[in-house]
Amino acid sequence: MASLKATSNLFRPQVNVWTRAIQKQPFLAHSIVLSQVPKASILGIRAYSSKNNQMQIPLRDLGVFANYIPPETSPSVSDFSNWRLTKWRNLKNSVQNLLSVGIIKRKSQFEKWNSQKFLAEAGETYKDMNDAFARGDRGMLEEVCLDAMYSNLKNQIKGRNNVRWEWRYHGDVEAPKIVCVRCISSTGMSKHGFAIGQVTVRMFTKQSMAVYDKKNRLVGGDPNKIHNVLEYVVFQKTISNAEDIWRVYGKVAAPEKLIK
């Protein structure tokens, strides 16, 4: 499955090539503070200078803007210190979400922001990514994933050694939910200028996975065993680009890797 850490326990392969746990993505960065980001990165370009000309290349990989995930359960008020800290963090995240949605709405000159429409598209993209990863469809992965995620999954596909994966989606345990929204812009609240948005979505779905060798023998997983899988998936889009779409940038580690 395309899950990295969150679904590494979904099956227990019986051949050596499948005993390697899917590693956590190394490219997920901590929260970006604009004052710490080079000006060229904020503007979305990297400049290469020479005596005769200067070439500018768009940047899409600025790390995960915010990796805060609200806890599944709040601490008891009897543990007042942790309870107060959790409430403060949730409040801070909610305010930042509102501000970022406001920026996205103002910057979206080509397609207006609609959270329900976004969640529907995000759910389909998530399923397309997992299905394409299981089938080894690099073309589809390149369409629905950004560069770092695509590279990570492509490298995993290369090491399969003549085995076939079969992934199935069996519905939602809970509806997808937006938990974090961030947007960086080179021109503040102006309608114009470069802007990138990231949205973290809580995906709690029912999935099954099976692995077959070249003789079609089951060597890992169980196609009839359904697991409840919890993941936090980060989607990214260049808001200022009319041609761009929401793609999977990466994942943020879930509080619980696998809920049974």
Give the model confidence (pLDDT) of 16-56 as tens digits: 333 333 333 333 333 333 333 333 333 333 333 334 443 33
Q: Which residues contact 254 (CB under 8 A, 6 or more apart)?
A: 6, 69, 230, 231, 232
> Amino acid identity, residue 140?
M
Q: What percent of the chain has pLDDT over 90?
A: 48
SS3 category, 87: helix
Q: Which domains does the chain have, with CATH numbers?
A: 80-257 (3.10.450.240)
Strand bridging mode 247-252 / 45-49: unpaired
* Whole-number average pLDDT of the chain: 78
* pLDDT at res. 161: 83
Please answer whether residues 85 and 73 qualify as being in contact, where contact means their C-beta atoms are separated by less than 8 angstroms: no
pLDDT reading at 237 higher than 50:
yes
pTM of this structure:
0.74
Give the pLDDT confidence score for residue 110 in this predicted structure: 65
Q: Is there a contact between 24 and 253 (Cβ–Cβ < 8 Å)?
A: yes
CA 238 → CA 58, 98, 219, distances in Å? 10, 18, 41
